[in-house]
Amino acid sequence: MKSFDSPRTLQWCVHFGTLGVLGLVLWYVHESRELSGHQKLSAAHTQNGMALGQVLEGAAAYSQRDPSVVPLLNQIVARASGAPTSAPVAPGPAASTLNRR
């Protein structure tokens, strides 16, 4: 009967453990880079949303000075929401601020 080779078994266990740790480190690096990319994309979306809010506030303020732009702004809002441009825009927060005089 063959005797149990303890040093050889221990050596294989250390090798497999090292490969496992190396795999976990590579997985961590990959996922942290992916998370960083998602965070940058999220920050860009937040900045775009804030810029769009400022544009809408400016458009609402301008429509109070020049009411002739309200139909044009309603068309833009309809296109952005995906509704057909010939359909009237339902009154909402943006439409109600644009229609004020």
What average pLDDT score do residues 55-81 get? 84
The helix (run of H) or strand (run of E) holding residue 9 is helix 6-65
Residue matched to tokens 């601020």: 97
* More reliable by pLDDT, 63 or 21: 21
What average pLDDT score do residues 29-53 get? 95
Residue matched to tokens 């080779």: 5
- pLDDT score at 73: 82
pTM: predicted TM-score of the whole model, two decimal places: 0.51
**pLDDT interval class at 28 (50, 70, 90):** very high
N-to-C CA span, the chain: 99
Cα gap 98→101, rounded to integer Å: 8
